[in-house]
Each structure stands twice: as C-alpha cells, then as structure tokens.
Amino acid sequence: MSSTIVLVADQQEVNAPLSRRLEDQDHSVFVVKDIPEALLYLRDPACTASVVVFQQAMRRQQDAMTLAEICSFRPYLQIILLAEKGKSPLGEIPVPHANIRILQRPVNPQDLFQVVQDAVGAVDALLDKKQSAIDLDLTSENNDSGLPMFTTPFLMRVGMADVPVLLHGETGVGKEVMARKLCAYSPRAQKPFLKLNCAALPSELVESELFGYEKGAFTGAAIDKPGKFEIAQGGTILLDEIGDMDIRLQAKLLQVLQDGEVQPLGSRKTLKLNVRVLAATHRDLRRAIELGTFREDLYYRLNVVSIVIPPLRERRDEIIPLAEKLLRRHLRAGIPEPLLTESFKNLMLQYDWPGNVRELENLMRRLLVYQNESMITGDLELAIAQSKSRSRPALSQSGEASEAVQSVATPQPTASQISSMDHLAEVSRQAEAKLLLDALEATHWNRRQAAARLNLDYKAFLYKLQKLGIVEKREKAEVPQTA
C-alpha cells in the first residue's frame, strides 16, 4: 500500500537516495527544509502523511510540545528521529509518543530505508485492525456499548449525515459512547475526535480550550496554543454538558458555528473550520431557555438531530444481558467469569440504577474483584431499600402525606419526555438560584455582602452567578423600556 512520507532533510546525501527508493515503491515523498515547516504541514487537516523522518534534533521545547500535540490527534503517525550518538533527538524533553523510532547517526541508507518500510507496514496494520473492528461492530446489533436499543443502520444513517447532533440523557447512560459510535460510522472516522466537558472547567478556561490563544493574550500565555476546534480540523468535537456552558460563552460558540471560523484569543487572524459538532447534556435545555440560562438560537443550531438515550431503569430487559457483556469486557486472562445467580439477577432487576450503565459497569468490575456474589448482595439490597424509602411520601401523624412532600413529588421521567429528565437536578439548580437571588435582594445587590451572608468565597459566588445567568438577568431588567 502506498503512503505519504515526509522527510525533514538537512543531509542531501541521505535524503536523495532515500527519496528515490521510496518513490520506486510507489510512495509519495514530501521534503521540507526544517522542523517548523514540517510541524506546520503535519498540523494541516489535509495532510495525509503516515510516516515522518526528522533528520534534525529538536532543540526548542515548543517544537517537541507541538509534535506531542500532533501525535494526540494522529494516532497512526509513525515518527523516525535521527540522533547523534549518546544524545536524545529531543534534548531533555521526554519522548511524547509510542510510535517513535530513534536511530543513531551515522545511518546506513539501507537501514534507514528498511526502518521507513517497517513504519509504513505498522501504519497499514493499525488501519487494517481499525477497519476490522468497525466491520465487526457493523455486524453486531447487540454490542456491549450499553446502547443496544439503537440499531446499527440507525447509527450509520446519523453518523453519515455529518450534521450537528444533540444527545440527551441522564448521567451515565452512555452519551459519549453514542457520540464515538456516530463518529466511527461517519466519513470523519479516521480524523480526530476530541471532547470538552463544559461543566468541568470555569468559563474562562473553557473559552481558551475551545478557541486557543496566542502568546501574550493573557497572563500565563507563554506560548501559542491551538484550541480544540483547530486541533479537531476535519474531525469531530463533542461538547459534553453543553447545558452548563456560561451563557456569554454560548454567544461566541454560536458565532463560530454560524460563520464556520474561529479567532484565537489575542489574535487578529481567523481560521476556517471543518469540524462536526456533537453536543451532550443531562439537563432540560427547553427549561433552561425559559430560565434564561441557555440561548434559544444556539439550541436550534445544535438540535439538527436529537437523540434521547433512556435511563437504564426504563429498559430493564437489557440489564442482565448488558451486565454479562460488561463482565466479559473487564475479564482478565486467567480469571474465571463469575456466574450470576437467579437471586442476584432478580436484585439487579429491582434496582433503579440512578448511575445507569456506568453504575452497572462499576458493580460488575467489583464482582470480578471479589469473585463472590454474597459480598455485594448486601450493598445492593440496602440500595434497593433506600431507593424505595425515598420514593415513598413521608406520613404525618394523621397518616396523610405532608404538603411539603406533595409539593415536590413528581412522576418518574420517560424516554419520550425530555422535559422530565433529571428533575431532581433541575429543582436543585432552581433552589440554588433562588438562594443567591434572596441574598442579593437582602443586601441590595451588594455581591460581596451577599457572598459573606451565604458564607461563600467571593470568587466562587461570582462564578455561581455567571453559571446561573443571574447577572445577565438583572442587567436586562434595568434597561429602560421605550414607549
């Protein structure tokens, strides 16, 4: 199989014969003069290189960091480094990638040619293995992903559509698994797949992670750093927990999706994007729109295809088959597979699995460690009892359910009702917003006094206001109405 090979050449006596021999084998050879030019080419989404030969040592830490970044989204790229005897080609910088081969100078041209050929063969083997895995998955309707309710033809149809997809579902149901499957069945399968959890970082860090920044853009920006949109060129990016993204950052994201280009922080240049965006959330975004914490225009931009992944408690017929497959997934060589008794299966079917597939997987891994069902039966029985006691209304002395409990009692959510998803989390969010608003009103909107009143760190208090959109709401309310 022919491949594209990049030669970073400073020794013409080695480069010329190597280029000729590789071209005789139907390989495409692309020669660049120095390391910065090579790294720029390798970062280009249109680059098809499978092997790169560096005949120059990397002296700058930034070059080695860029190489590590390239390796992260080109997992099949084979790298050959030529080094002086007894010296590392990266200086004191650790080798950033497993697919790196180091040769000591002086190098015999025949030896270098053979190493390049071996590297090409390694790429072909990895790609064949990847394709075989996809082909095998395509023939399996009930795979061990935790998503057997979605048929392969459905996943292929949505994957090939190359449009934004919004994934709804409780924590642990497998939204990221679904996103990766859609990517595997898409034309972008061999391109980067990157994920950013919008709830795990403050909005300022989310912004720099998404859009990147130039050196000097802010304190601590010592080098240029590409954002995930730039790194994912040609591939797919998953915005996990999109419902927790700061509303001001949502406006910038909307502009990026509409214009198809991104501007790094501190930069005057814009970069054209070719990235498929998938988004996932456990929140009710329609309710968030009503509360003013999520932009309606962004919702419709992301919601071209909407997929609701039901919680595990609504597909109880899948619990046992899925548990058995998860057991086999984590089974190590030499360890017998535990058999699930009927009594244990009945317990599993009684439990509501608030942690969904993730919780079920953790239980199966625990069973593999203990190799004894009885050691976790008690925990499961206790969890079932606690679950039932939580769902039963508290009784007053007269034997009637108290009004306080009745006021918050709600039916269990269904797969078809997105607005009912994770009601408890939404109630908690509303209660937190009311608490903050009450403190602000009591202190005449003095934020420092309100933070002290709630015994909160001031910066943490400001972050909560931003996250819940409370500051924006008050600013809108203060705009004078025109006649």
Confidence of residue 360 (pLDDT cuts 50, 70, 90): very high
Confidence of residue 303 (pLDDT cuts 50, 70, 90): very high
Confidence of residue 483 (pLDDT cuts 50, 70, 90): very low
Q: Which of 233, 210, 194 is nearest to 72 (CA)?
A: 194
- 96 assigned to some structural domain: yes
pLDDT for the residue 349: 92
Residue 264, pLDDT > 60, answer yes
Judge if 319 and 303 occupy the same domain. no
- 136 assigned to some structural domain: no
Buried-state track 203-212, b at ≥16 Cβ within 10 A, e below 16:
beebbbbbbb
- 406 assigned to some structural domain: no
pLDDT for the residue 2: 62
Better pLDDT: 227 or 65: 227
Cα gap 147→155, rounded to integer Å: 10
For 198, 343, 395, 430, 481, the CA distances from 291, given in Å and listed in that order, are 19, 46, 33, 9, 21
Residue 389, pLDDT > 90, answer no
Find the mean pLDDT for residues 235-256: 92
Highest mean pLDDT among 33-42, 297-306, 406-415: 297-306
Cα gap 35→191, rounded to integer Å: 23
- Take residue 76 and report the two structure tokens written for it: 């099949």
- 16 assigned to some structural domain: yes
- Take residue 83 and report the two structure tokens written for it: 């080094």
Please give the helix or strand (H or E) that residue 22 lies within, else none.
Answer: helix 12-24
| Window from 78-82, 196-200, 310-314, 409-413 with minimum mean pLDDT | 409-413
| Window from 39-48, 249-258, 429-438, 459-468 with minimum mean pLDDT | 39-48
DSSP strand pairing (225-226 vs 212-213)? antiparallel
* Cβ proximity of 196 and 237 under 8 Å: yes
Judge if 15 and 113 occupy the same domain. yes
Q: Which of 243, 275, 230 is nearest to 257 (CA)?
A: 275
Confidence of residue 403 (pLDDT cuts 50, 70, 90): very low
Judge if 343 and 380 occupy the same domain. yes
Highest mean pLDDT among 202-216, 297-311, 407-421, 426-440: 297-311
Confidence of residue 330 (pLDDT cuts 50, 70, 90): confident
Find the mean pLDDT for residues 265-281: 89
Better pLDDT: 217 or 316: 316
Mean of all residue pLDDT scores within the chain: 78
Residue 466's domain is classified under what CATH number? 1.10.10
The DSSP code sequence of 93-151 is SPP--TTEEEEESS--HHHHHHHHHHHHHHHHHHHHHHHHHHHHHHT-SS-TTS-TTS-
Please give the helix or strand (H or E) that residue 8 lies within, else none.
Answer: strand 4-8
At 185-220, the pLDDT tens digits run 888 888 889 998 988 888 778 888 888 888 877 777
- Which of 255, 284, 308 delimits the end of a domain? 308
Determine the distance from the C-alpha atom of residue 124 to the mean position of all C-alpha atoms in its chain, rounded to a whole number: 27
Judge if 288 and 325 occupy the same domain. no
Judge if 39 and 114 occupy the same domain. yes
Q: Which of 347, 355, 357 is nearest to 318 (CA)?
A: 357
Confidence of residue 90 (pLDDT cuts 50, 70, 90): low
pLDDT for the residue 140: 44
Better pLDDT: 277 or 41: 277
Judge if 72 and 121 occupy the same domain. yes
Judge if 297 and 153 occupy the same domain. yes
Would the pTM count as exceeding 0.85? no
Residue located via tokens 């499978």: 50
Judge if 21 and 79 occupy the same domain. yes
- 407 assigned to some structural domain: no
Cα gap 455→57, rounded to integer Å: 55
For 7, 34, 249, the CA distances from 95, given in Å and listed in that order, are 19, 19, 36
Q: Quote the domain boundaries for residue 162.
A: 146-308
Confidence of residue 148 (pLDDT cuts 50, 70, 90): low
- 399 assigned to some structural domain: no
Residue 393, pLDDT > 90, answer no
- Residues found in the chain: 483
- 400 assigned to some structural domain: no
* Cβ proximity of 159 and 181 under 8 Å: yes
Judge if 107 and 248 occupy the same domain. no
- Which of 78, 108, 131 delimits the end of a domain? 131
- Take residue 144 and report the two structure tokens written for it: 């061990």
| Window from 390-394, 424-428, 468-472 with minimum mean pLDDT | 390-394
Q: Backbone phi, then psi, for 354, in 5-degree steps?
A: -60, -25
- Which of 271, 290, 308 delimits the end of a domain? 308
Judge if 196 and 103 occupy the same domain. no
Judge if 304 and 317 occupy the same domain. no
Confidence of residue 164 (pLDDT cuts 50, 70, 90): very high
DSSP strand pairing (49-54 vs 276-281)? unpaired
Please give the helix or strand (H or E) that residue 251 lies within, else none.
Answer: helix 247-259
- 138 assigned to some structural domain: no
pLDDT for the residue 404: 30
Judge if 107 and 154 occupy the same domain. no
Cα gap 470→440, rounded to integer Å: 10
Better pLDDT: 102 or 405: 102
Find the mean pLDDT for residues 452-468: 79
* Cβ proximity of 160 and 201 under 8 Å: no
Q: State what percent of residues in the chain have pLDDT above 70.
A: 78
Query: How many independent structural domains does the chain possess?
Result: 4
Residue 94's domain is classified under what CATH number? 3.40.50.2300
pLDDT for the residue 480: 47
